Amino acid sequence: MAAANSTRSTDSTLRMPWAALIWLVVSGLLLMISTQVVTLRDRQRFPGDFELLAQPAEGDNTVQLEIVAGTFEYNVVPEVSTEAAAGTYSPDTDDPVAAALFANIPDVTEVTVTPQTITIVYDNDFEPDLMVRRSERPIFNAVLNDQANITGEVAGDAENTLVFTTTDETWRYGRYVPTLIPEGTQEVYASRDEAQNGSALAQFLIEDATSIQALTLNPDSLVVTYRDGAVESQVINRVQDALNEFHPRASLEPNLWLFSIVGSPDTILEIVPIDTDVPLFIFTLAFAIIELLLFIFLRHTSDKLVRPLVRVAGVFLLFWSIYGHEPLWDYVLGSIFPTSNQLVHPNATVIEFTAQHLELVFVSSLITISAGLTFGVIVTRENFREILPLVNNLVNSGQTIPTIAIVAFMAPIIGFGFWPAIIALVAYGLLPVLRNTIAGLEAVDDFIIDSARGMGMTPSQILFQIELPIASSVIMAGIRTSMVINVGTATLGAFVGSGGLGTPITSGLSMTIDAFILLGAIPAALLAILIDYVLGRIEFVLTPRGLQIQN
């Protein structure tokens, strides 16, 4: 007995807070990544906004360029908000809102701005709903109004016309406060050689605008001397293009993202991502401290509830937050496809696609799990065993028919959108849940059930207190399989307009943009692994202690 106690004491002293150490390492890696600042390369998703005003300057072949607008910082809200002017504009307009829409929406011929509507007329054969989705992101970029207050639709009284409305009193746009270099400083480069050894901005301008011979950088202007024979207007345009190519600069540091779940008449539930503006490395550092405290206070207990659930929440929020940082996805895809001009999908962010994807998976799984457990319990009762072959054949047919065929068959019947994909996912995911429920319940030893009856337990008590707890591990394995399958299968819903991570995949296939394909495929694969891990931890919590295999 003393020897056994000594062994347990030795094991306790040898235990280490490995989870806390892992979170600490993750926090260090995130802190290291956050020190990197990169140039975002997707010009369609992150359009340049520098505007220059030429002023006379002393010296031959020299021009001073005052910066009217522009910024190097990603996702910075302008300090000055201006009301958008009402009017009807053509492609050669100087209006900042209309000009941004002409530059970033294909084939636009006319833009009309009123206090609460923006009407866009275009000239192509795209599907109207596709043009609405294609125009949303440029609208969001062109104005400062909250995205939640903006809705877009196809005009009912005119062809090739879109109407975007806001619940705000008026449309507003912003002018950034430009700062090329820190206030109160100046960088003077008398030759190209000096500029090539200067700051990152000076090196970039010299390499990109080859006609520049000398350069002076001020916080809100730059003075450019160009070589003989160069046309001044072309030099100005080249400098403006170079500034926009250097824009915007973004840190790779992701923030902590949370989410809220609200009811929706169209999709039952809606997942809304929330950016907390808290650096993610601080969150992971806090989780390392939490894991350390749990280790200290629970190390002498056989806890199988608190720590697994805490880790599930931490790991999920870690991945969820990484989905929310667009500069990171732009950087990763830009490294894989260095020559591609389009990397991040213009219609929505990765975390928005992921939220749509989770809506498909959660709603279909809610139906699948409820139906699978109900039918599994019913057909294992003595009075209904005769319908077991019929139920098996019905759910088997769901996986026999290709999912895309179910989606294509249901779309003309109930319309495009969310529900055709849900029906296909339910038909495809029902089999693992039902089979594992039946297998788990039928594996319960008859002797245990007879003993429970002998103790006076009712059939419902036997089911909920004996059979389901014993079968919980097998049932959870079926649920895990079903949900992981649905993560991959849900990408097919994009063919009928259900959204999700299948949208960038289908866009990439149709437009031959490889970056879009990976933009949907990589998050979907990570999401499948994440859901499997989360359900694995939940399975561990739900499985009775006596049925767990302890190593």
pLDDT digit string, tens, across residues 451-496: 988 888 988 899 888 898 889 889 999 999 999 989 988 998 888 8
Q: Is-contact 309 293, C-beta < 8 A?
A: no
Q: Which residues pair with 154 in a beta bridge?
A: 162
Question: Which residue spans of the chain are classified as CATH 1.10.3720.10?
Answer: 345-547
More confident of the two residues 110 and 245: 110
Q: How many CB atoms lie within 10 A of CB 87?
A: 12
- Classify residue 533 by burial, with Cβ atoms within 10 Å: 0-12, 13-18, 19+: middle
pLDDT (mean) for 146-151: 87
DSSP letter, residue 486? H
With a cut of 60, say whether residue 400 has pLDDT above it.
yes
Q: Could you tell me if 67 and 48 are in contact, meaning their C-beta atoms sit under 8 angstroms apart?
A: no
80-175 sits in which CATH class? Answer: alpha beta
Whether omega before 432 lies within 30 degrees of 0, making that bond cis, reads no
Report the distance separating Cα 115 and Cα 117, nearest Å.
6
Structure confidence at residue 8 (pLDDT): 46
Instruction: Read off the pLDDT band of 546 (50, 70, 90).
Output: low
- Would you call 176 exposed, middle or buried from its count of C-beta atoms within 10 A (0-12, 13-18, 19+)? buried
Cα gap 541→383, rounded to integer Å: 33
Q: What is the pLDDT of residue 10?
A: 43
What pLDDT sits at residue 1?
47
pLDDT band at 547 (very low <50, low <70, confident <90, very high): low
Highest mean pLDDT among 134-138, 237-241, 316-320: 316-320
Give the C-alpha separation, 474 to 461, whole Å. 20
Q: What is the mean pLDDT of residues 301-310?
A: 83
Nearest to 166 by CA among 127, 130, 113, 128: 113
Q: How confident is the model at residue 12 (pLDDT cuts 50, 70, 90)?
A: very low
Average pLDDT over residues 99-106: 87
Mean pLDDT, the chain, integer: 87
Q: Where along the chain do the CATH 3.30.980 domains lie?
A: 80-175
Residue 424: the pLDDT is: 85
Residue 427 or residue 373, greater confidence? 373
Structure tokens at 244: 């926009």
Q: What is the pLDDT of residue 7?
A: 45
Tokens of 251: 């840190």
**pLDDT of res. 80:** 79
CATH annotation of 51-74+178-247: 3.30.1370.70
Q: Which helix (H) or strand (E) holds 399?
A: helix 388-400
The confidence band for 551, taking pLDDT boundaries of 50, 70 and 90, is: very low
User: What is the torsional sign of CA 33, 333, 131, 46?
Assistant: positive
User: CATH 3.30.1370.70: which residues of the chain?
Assistant: 51-74+178-247
Instruction: Tell me: pLDDT of 13 over 50.
Output: no
- Evaluate if residue 160 carries a pLDDT over 50: yes
Give the CA distances from residue 508 to residues 131, 161, 170, 496, 502, in Å, rounded to whole numbers and listed in that order: 16, 25, 36, 16, 10
Single out the residue of 412, 526, 547 nearest to residue 470, CA to CA.
547
Going by pLDDT thresholds of 50, 70 and 90, the confidence category of residue 74 is confident
Q: What is the CA radius of gyration of the chain?
A: 30
* Pick from 94, 121, 116: nearest CA to 105: 121
Amino acid residing at 212: I
Question: Which H or E run contains 172?
Answer: strand 172-175
Query: According to the per-residue pLDDT averaged within each range, which of 128-137, 234-243, 395-404 is highest?
Result: 234-243
- Of the chain, the percentage scoring pLDDT greater than 70 comes to 95
Mean pLDDT score, 514-528: 94
Q: Crossing angle of helices 18-34/306-323, nearest 10°?
A: 10
At residue 437, φ and ψ (nearest 5 deg) are -65, -45
| Whether pLDDT at 412 is above 80 | no
- Average pLDDT, stretch 22-45? 91
The pLDDT value recorded for residue 545 is 67
What secondary structure does DSSP assign to 271-293, as a single string? EEEEEEEEEHHHHHHHHHHHHHH
Percentage, residues of the chain above pLDDT 90:
46
CATH classification of 345-547, choosing from 1.25.40.10, 2.40.160.20, 3.40.630.30, 1.10.3720.10?
1.10.3720.10
pLDDT of residue 170: 94
For residue 205, pLDDT beyond 60: yes
What local confidence, expressed as pLDDT, does residue 6 receive?
46
Give burial (CB, 10 Å; 0-12/13-18/19+) of 514: middle
Which has more confidence, 67 or 79? 67
Residue 501 confidence (pLDDT):
94
Locate 335 and state its tokens: 């490294």
